[in-house]
Amino acid sequence: MSFQKTQTLDLNKVKTIVFNDIDLLLGHFDLEYAQDSDNIFMSCPIHEGSDNPNALSISLDKQVWRCWTRGCHEEFGTDIFAFVRGVLYSRDEPHQFSDALRLICNIYNVSNAKTEYKEKGERTEDFFSDLVRTFKKSDPVTKPTASCLDVHTIGSSPYFESRNFKSKTLRYFGVEDCQDNSCAMRHRSIIPIKNNGKKIGYIARSTKDWLQPKYLFSEGIKKTDYLYNYDNAIDTARNKHCLFLVEGQGDVWRLYEAGVNNVVGLFGKDVSIRQKELLLKSGVTTLVVLTDNDQAGRESKIKINRELGRLFSLVFPATYGKDLGDTSVNKIKNEILINLRGLY
Ligand SMILES: [Zn+2]
């Protein structure tokens, strides 16, 4: 396998070139940033509405990056190629690995590297296409591409059952694990996303700690275009003139188990422009905001208040525990819902 090893070195070489002069890359994207010894800090250019100047850090030493507010690195990966992919994604530009690598090669004029490798007699083909091929073969961060039909699930979700969700609930939301070793989604739990009654894609949640990224979205799904569970929620929502807003799918399921049908998930902490349109279209007048009880969740509440406060009557119940998905149904009923009678 010395062949593969040599090729991995090539990518590391590109990384080294980038980190020798990272200003060139960040300047190309017009990003404002600050450097503090070995770390670069900036607001996250990947998720929408990031305004904290320390939201994202790049370690020049370790050559990795991390989005502390929204965990964008979990979706794309932590190396510099993944960072470029994330930025391209946020700008609605092609964002495959090859797109990121091509851009980097252009910015840093990396084709020069070809000569060097040729001299060693290790390479006769084009440097760039070699790299792309290698990456497709071996990199675990590349999003596996699979259509809805490709996933073979087992008909239940032992993974989410182990996280104390009722099998009946998981059936209602169509959540099933994939354990098919021939499938790119193995070791993932498949959460369907529906829109107007049609299944348009899915989120694949890793069921193993070692399998990153934690969440994958099926091809073509832009999560900021949807509200999770909107279809199921809308009738009750119109009836009660109210929608509950939560971050994740698990939060939606837990509230459902506690008797709340009019709940939608944001797929994160921020309300995108499209999601705001959907909320306005729903016709509800009250939003109950139950984002996570961590620092980022609190920031998100402030932002939601600023952006939606004049359009809706907002309710911010005090929440207990880290997030709803990890809170017991009884606790939710007794400590949160008890004060929200008539809204669900
Ligand atoms: Zn981010």
pTM for the whole structure: 0.59
Q: Is pLDDT at 135 greater than 50 in this prediction?
A: no
Give long-range contacts, CB 8 A cutoff, 24+ apart: 61-67. Answer: 63/15, 63/19
Q: Does the pLDDT of residue 2 top 60, yes or no?
A: no
Please indicate whether residue 219 or residue 330 has the higher confidence score (pLDDT). Answer: 330
Backbone angles phi, psi at 51, to 5 degrees: -125, 0
Ligand 1 centroid to Cα of residue 325, in Å, is 22
- Tell me how far apart the 2 most distant CA atoms of the chain are, in Å: 75
Both tokens of 106, joined, read 């252009």
Ligand 1 centroid to Cα of residue 91, in Å, is 13
For residue 297, report the distance from its CA to the centre of ligand 1, in Å. Answer: 14
Please give the Cα distance from 191 to 207 (Å, whole number). 12
Q: Which of 85, 100, 92, 123 is nearest to 9 (CA)?
A: 123
Residue 132 confidence (pLDDT)? 54
Whole-number Å distance, alpha carbon 287 to ligand 1 midpoint, is: 25
pLDDT of residue 7: 46
Give the distance (Å) from ligand 1 centre to CA of residue 164.
29
Average pLDDT across the chain, whole number: 84
Three-state DSSP state, 248:
coil
Contact at 8 Å (CB) between 321 and 297?
no
- Quick one: average pLDDT of 328-336? 93
- Give 125: exposed, middle or buried? Use CB within 10 Å, 0-12, 13-18, 19+: exposed
CA 233 to ligand 1 center in whole angstroms: 28
**How close is the Cα of 247 to the center of ligand 1, in Å?**
15
Strand order through the sheet with 56-59: 34-36, 39-42, 56-59, 64-67
What's the pLDDT score for residue 114?
42
**Mean pLDDT across the stretch 296-318?**
92
The winner for highest mean pLDDT among 219-228, 283-292, 316-325 is 283-292
3-class SS of residue 224: helix
Across the range 254-271, mean pLDDT stands at: 95
**Residue 202, Cβ neighbours under 10 Å: how many?**
27
- Give distance in angstroms: CA of 145 to centre of ligand 1: 22
Q: Which amino acid is at 203?
A: I
d(CA 277, CA 267): 16
Q: Model confidence over 29-56: pLDDT tens digits? A: 989 888 888 889 999 999 988 888 889 9
Domains of the chain: 2-138 (3.90.580.10), 148-221 (3.90.980.10), 230-339 (3.40.1360.10)
Which residues crowd ion ligand 1, with CB under 5 Å?
A: 44, 46-47, 67, 70, 72
194 near 200, Cβ under 8 Å?
yes
- 156 Cα: distance to centroid of ligand 1 (angstroms): 32
- Does the structure show a pLDDT above 60 at 197? yes
What DSSP character marks residue 34?
Answer: E
pLDDT per position as a tens digit, 136-184: 443 333 344 444 456 888 999 999 999 999 999 999 999 999 988 778 8
Arithmetic mean of pLDDT, 180-209: 88
* pLDDT computed for residue 111 by the predictor: 64
